[in-house]
Amino acid sequence: MELNLISKELERFKNELSYNKKMLILIQENIDFLKTSNAAVSLSEYKKIKQQKNLIETRIVYYRTKAQPLEQILNTKELSHKEEMERFEHIYRMQFKNNILEFPGDRRKKA
């Protein structure tokens, strides 16, 4: 259950991160276009675009810092879950194994 919640949260952060990266690319292309072309743009609109770029850059940093620890937590929890399942399977299989216990004293008496 906990692994499921962590993985969903991590997936949400990664989706937000990829969306913001795409938006940053588009905004940077718009800024480059406005700088190189002869298009008439008001100064206030240019400032708004720059503010959006700064906002998206801070969002990218935020989502990266949130996603990285979740990835580490998820990896450690998945590893421990895998080890627990292997331990459980080993114990479960031991129930069906024919375990014949022989003690050294019993072998001497039979011979």
Is 104 among the domain residues? no
pLDDT at 109 (0 to 100):
54
Residue 78 maps to which CATH number?
1.10.287
Is 56 among the domain residues? yes
Q: Given a cut of 90, is residue 5 above it in pLDDT?
A: no
pLDDT at 22 (0 to 100):
96
Is 101 among the domain residues? no
Average pLDDT score over residue span 76-101:
85
One-letter-per-residue 3-state SS of the chain: CHHHHHHHHHHHHHHHHHHHHHHHHHHHHHHHHHHHCCCCCCHHHHHHHHHHHHHHHHHHHHHHHHHHHHHHHHHHHHHHHHHHHHHHHHHHHHHHCCCCCCCHHHHHHHC
Is 7 among the domain residues? yes
Alpha-carbon gap, residue 95 to 11, rounded angstroms: 40
Is 107 among the domain residues? no
Average pLDDT score over residue span 77-102:
84
Tell me the residue range of the domain where 23 lies: 2-96
Tell me the pTM.
Answer: 0.67
Is 48 among the domain residues? yes
In the chain, the number of structural domains is: 1
